[in-house]
Chain A
Amino acid sequence: MLNQLRPALVLLLALTAVTGLAYPLAMTGLAGAIFPAKAAGSLIERGGKVVGSSLVGQTFTGADYFHGRPSATTAADPADASKTVPAPYNAANSSGSNLGPTSAALAERVKGDLDALKAENPGRPVPVDLVTTSGSGLDPDISPDAALFQVPRVAKARNLPEDKLRDLVAGQVQGRTLGLLGEPRVNVLALNLALDDMAKR
């Protein structure tokens, strides 16, 4: 095995330098030159300040904004670093709920969210994505149904006609890629930015 040591060592170091340093660094340079905004994380600025990334969801709690899906991300407990506390849309610690189909905790959470949403808009069935957490906890999107479901609440809070908001949602729906791949969706941050812009006009 000793005579294998020189080729093993030299190849390991050389291939490590190529694949572990040269390749990612060259790609960083190249990607930054060709797609500078995307390589940096598709950040959105308003008035010179970063308000988020178009790809990463963020928390909305006010009645005057469209809400994203529930998020199961956590953060270290400020009181005890060995424990975690819920911190929705923590983009520095992505994770799902990992609750299984027969989990009592999942059933209770969904039931609670469902009852609250039913009270908010009794006329419509609640879209499933509004009561389930995403895999990353950072899902930037909701289904078109989930956006339309929230129109009455937002219209009331903003004192705007519902028809106008429904048009706004319709304009924000992204279809399937090539009409085929993925699912139709609405980016919540983009929708809310458009909502703010509309209110300003």
Chain B
Amino acid sequence: MTTNGWIQIALFCAVVLALVKPLGAYMTRVFTGERTFLSPVLAPVERGLYRVAGIDARHEQTWLGYGLAMLAFHVLGFLLLYAVLRLQDVLPFNPMGQSAVAPDLAFNTAASFVTNTNWQNYGGESTLSYLSQMLGLTHQNFLSAATGIALAVALIRGFSRASAKTVGSFWVDLTRCTLYVLLPLCIVYTLFLVSQGMPQTLGAYVDATTLEGAKQTIAVGPVASQVAIKMLGTNGGGFFNANAAHPFENPTALSNFVQIVSIFALGAALTNVFGRMVGDERQGWAILGAMTVLFVAGVAVTYWAEADGSAVLNSFGLTGGNMEGKEVRFGIVASALFAVVTTAASCGAVNAMHDSFTALGGLIPLLNMQLGEIIVGGVGAGLYGMLVFVVITIFVAGLMVGRTPEYLGKKIESREVKMAMLAILCLPLMMLGGTAVATVAAAGLAGPANAGPHGFSEILYAFTSAAANNGSAFGGLSGNTLFYNSLLAVGMLVGRFFVIIPALAIAGSLAGKKTLPASAGTFPTHGGLFVGLLVGVILIVGGLTFFPSLALGPIVEHLAGAAGQTFSTGG
């Protein structure tokens, strides 16, 4: 570990924190329907869209109506993406003549992008046409991100409104998020990425003759426009197989820094939107505070583990940390930081291969996802995931003092706690249940590329990443099989919708309640005590649920590696 490394980490935190207030203020204006500096251009477009779609922008929906609208939109989006992938061989923008995507892979990829997971069983440059990348993946990157943010805003309205029946209009939230927030940011961001060397072309792959006379085919494409939304929308699905480790998908140290900032930017700013909409910005900062504590702890462990390197390779006299699967232009610190950020948020882009991380360096990304990606988290999804934990924390605090728990003047009662538990429990069910099935089924055991505990970690990582809607992988696992394509797709769908629907139900139930004035007995939820309690509840729930699985994978592997033991496949 070096001083420069810690300065890079500190600079990252400072830049993200500096963006929270301006972005939060702007997004609050967007979602409360106020005018913004883009309104003169975008308001007529917005009105036109509503007219054609038959939407009355003033008509709001109940939590159930909001949820049904969201589901209808997703079903159609899923079908459209599936169709584009299956028909890419006969559709335009296919200069490399890619054939149609196989049914199970198309199902997996469609589920993956609709749920904002972006698991890569597809090979990017070797599987997809440019049309599939643009019309298929780029547009779902926008819409699944906008959906996440819309749902978080609906839940915020649940807290901020009193005796209300409705939580907003899904159509309006979706449209405004896409037009006013995501699209303008992406236009500027794309041009920055191209200025760093990222290709943006519809031309075919380039054939080069290397200095030694060999032929090298270099894949290019409309990369920058997709990467911009892939990062801002915490989608993470790569244009190329190697994702952000590919020099075209992350050309410079600066493009790398901006990419990790952009993973966190909108998610962190949403805590400020929350504070502003409930009328007390400190409430947002408290939540961001809890996220920051967990984040910094994770970065410290992964950076230390990667800088220390693998015990097996170090025994050969190598120094300089674990560089297997990492790029020289990023080095240890920027790779470790990227890995923790991408799994704290539900991004899943990678600039280094997590599969080749040290055992403990890879444990933190795994744990980040198992906790439900609430450390800033996916755009929107992180905030509503964290608010679910807040409900549980408030409930635990209420039990301690024997008082009906309250949060922001709302009584937290049996319905809210039940819904919160439902959302929290569906994740371990899919993560651990899926892993259990795959470790006994022959088709599951055929997947891992590594032997021993690392092979188990590969399976665990896959189901964890799918259910948490992350999309990063221990990439050695051969996931493009009927077994994994289907089972992981189910994990993604359950992990997305069985958290969203209970969260919306909480929103609806809270919106209908009266807001009680704070009294001397009210537990203040903007201070250090609350932040500490929240962090404690998250770690206890996560630790109790997942420690056994981590013990079988990364922890055993760390101890075996320290003892100099290696594992070979087929031996």
Contacts and interface: CB of A to CB of B under 8 A. Distances in A.
B80 A12 contact: yes
Interface string B275-314: 0000000000000000000000000000000000111110
Contacts, number: 386
A28 to B, nearest CB: 5
Nearest to B48: A14
Given A38-B195, A99-B324, A138 B242 contact: yes
A153 B570 CA distance: 38
Interface string A1-16: 1001111111110111
Contacts of B8: 180-181
Given A65-B211, A92-B125, A136-B242, A182 B175 contact: no
B170 to A, nearest CB: 9
Interface stretch (B24-32, B68-76, B372-380, B382-390): B68-76
Contacts of B329: 139, 141, 182-183, 185
Contact of A100 (B141, B183, B457): B457
A101 B352 CA distance: 14
Contacts of A5: 72
Contacts of A83: none
B187 A180 contact: no
A27 B200 contact: yes
Of A16, A24, A100, A129, the most chain B CB neighbours within 10 A belong to A100
Contacts of A42: 197, 199, 251
B552 to A, nearest CB: 14
B357 interface: yes
B319 A125 contact: yes
Given A27-B190, A91-B218, A134-B245, A16 B139 contact: yes
A198 interface: no
A38 B216 contact: no
Nearest to A53: B218
A39 B201 CA distance: 6
Interface in A12-50: 12, 14-16, 18-21, 23-25, 27-28, 30-32, 34-35, 38-43, 49-50
B527 to A, nearest CB: 35
Nearest to A49: B209
Contacts of B248: 41, 53, 55-56
Contacts of A135: 242, 245, 325-327, 335, 350-353
A9 B76 contact: yes
B464 to A, nearest CB: 16
A133 interface: yes
A97 B324 contact: yes
Contacts of B324: 96-97, 99, 101, 106, 132-133
A128 interface: yes
B125 A94 contact: yes
B316 interface: yes
A105 B568 contact: yes
A139 B241 contact: no
Nearest to A183: B331
Contacts of A54: 197
B476 A99 contact: yes
Contacts of B203: 40
B370 to A, nearest CB: 19
Contact of B69 (A4, A16, A58): A4
Interface residues on B, range: 35 or more
A132 B331 CA distance: 12
Nearest to B457: A100
Nearest to B51: A10
Contacts of A24: 134, 138, 222, 225-226
A51 B125 contact: no
Contact of B187 (A12, A27, A56): A27
Interface in B339-379: 350-353, 355-359
B310 to A, nearest CB: 4
B504 to A, nearest CB: 15
B454 A101 contact: yes
B139 A14 contact: no
B7 interface: yes
B220 A40 contact: yes
B39 interface: no
B321 interface: yes
A8 B475 contact: no
A96 B124 CA distance: 14
Contacts of A25: 134
B134 A103 contact: no
Interface stretch (B252-260, B394-402, B513-521, B541-549): B252-260
A38 B453 contact: no
B476 A100 contact: yes
A155 interface: no
Contacts of A127: 320
A185 B323 CA distance: 14
A114 interface: yes
A7 to B, nearest CB: 4
13 contacts: A11-B73, A21-B135, A39-B199, A41-B248, A52-B216, A55-B248, A59-B210, A94-B246, A98-B449, A102-B560, A132-B324, A177-B252, A178-B254
Interface of B: 4, 7-8, 11, 49, 52-55, 68-69, 71-73, 76-77, 80, 123-126, 134-136, 138-139, 141-143, 171, 174-175, 178, 182-183, 186-187, 190-191, 194-203, 205-212, 214, 216-220, 222, 224-226, 229, 240-242, 245-248, 251-254, 256-257, 309-313, 316-331, 334-335, 350-353, 355-359, 449-454, 457, 474-476, 557, 560-561, 565-569, 571
- By Cβ-Cβ distance, the 7 closest A-B pairs, closest first, are A182-B253, A135-B245, A20-B139, A183-B331, A98-B476, A94-B242, A104-B568
Given A38-B198, A55-B247, 8 more contacts: A11-B175, A23-B183, A53-B208, A92-B125, A99-B355, A102-B310, A135-B326, A135-B327
